[in-house]
Homo-oligomer: A and B are copies of this chain.
Amino acid sequence: MKNESLTVVENKTIAAKTHEMTLSGPLVDAIDQPGTFLHVAVPGEDLVLRRPISIAAVNQGAGTCAIVYKEEGDGTERLARCRAGDQLEVLGPLGNQGFPVEEPLPGDDVLLIGGGVGVPPLYFATCELVKRGVSVSVILGFQTAAAVFYARAFNELPGCDVHVMTDDGSNGRAGTVIDALNERPYAPDWLFSCGPRGMLRAIETNAADSKTHGYVSLEERMGCGIGACFACVCETNDGASYRKICRDGPVFAFKEVVL
């Protein structure tokens, strides 16, 4: 975990209100696990909290990493206005538990399900999986065609089978990622997912009785991002304890925490 000024190498719009930012700096060296995130200080003294954003890709050769973010409020709007050459204070990589991409074996049935801006960390995960020779199926859900991103990037990865779902059918097929999941004849060996809480809950329920090793990446409003403020806790499934999403997650095994 480092705190560093990273340089914006590129910042481009890749879908409606959705941007991909490439960052460079020595901190990139420390990135090794999909699912971990960066805690980004947004320009402007009036915004005192950093923004947690998943790492979407890393290129160790070039010393760069990418994040993909959607303009939701003041912070992400300001990120969208950053230009190449700007500096951003970044703390990361954060999170001690990412997607266990080193566990699936080639030949395992590996399914990744991403919804909206939950897609980026799954791209990083897919890159790592295919690097290890694991084939993956990916279901990407978006509201509408204008919101779709990274579908082609996934397609270009070797051994990656991509299904795009849109609510209105304007790209890929009409329906939700849950519809696509339900059409599968059997449960996957591995299931990695990131997206809205409701989607994750449905996925977990869906896989309840299966042999699936399932993992979900969670979001919560954060203060410190490192485990010191108790802002981002969630209860464990036994009700007896809790996890900090920023430190103990942000990825949790099915049933580890209450969704």
Q: Please, which residues of chain B bring their CB within 8 A of the CB of A44?
A: 44-46
Copies in the complex: 2
Distance in angstroms between the alpha carbons of A46 and B44 in the assembled complex: 8
Tell me the minimal C-beta distance from A129 to chain B in angstroms. 42
Q: Please, which residues of chain B bring their CB within 8 A of the CB of A46?
A: 44-46
Instruction: Give chain A's interface secondary structure class.
Output: loop
- Interface residue count on the A side (C-beta < 8 Å): 3
Q: CB within 8 Å of B: which of A10-57? A: 44-46
Tell me the minimal C-beta distance from A81 to chain B in angstroms. 12
Q: Please, which residues of chain B bring their CB within 8 A of the CB of A45?
A: 44, 46
Distance in angstroms between the alpha carbons of A24 and B79 in the assembled complex: 28
A74: nearest residue on chain B (CB-CB)?
B45
A43: nearest residue on chain B (CB-CB)?
B44
A48: nearest residue on chain B (CB-CB)?
B46
Tell me the minimal C-beta distance from A155 to chain B in angstroms. 39
Distance in angstroms between the alpha carbons of A44 and B42 in the assembled complex: 12
Distance in angstroms between the alpha carbons of A96 and B216 in the assembled complex: 65
Distance in angstroms between the alpha carbons of A111 and B185 in the assembled complex: 94
Tell me the minimal C-beta distance from A145 to chain B in angstroms. 34
Report A70-105 CB contacts with B as 1/0, cut-off 8 Å.
Answer: 000000000000000000000000000000000000
Tell me the minimal C-beta distance from A216 to chain B in angstroms. 35
Distance in angstroms between the alpha carbons of A46 and B74 in the assembled complex: 13
Distance in angstroms between the alpha carbons of A44 and B45 in the assembled complex: 7
5 contacts between A and B (CB under 8 A): A44-B44, A44-B45, A44-B46, A45-B46, A46-B46
**A residues neighboring B (CB under 8 Å):** 44-46
* Leading 5 A-B pairs by shortest Cβ distance: A46-B46, A45-B46, A44-B45, A44-B44, A44-B46
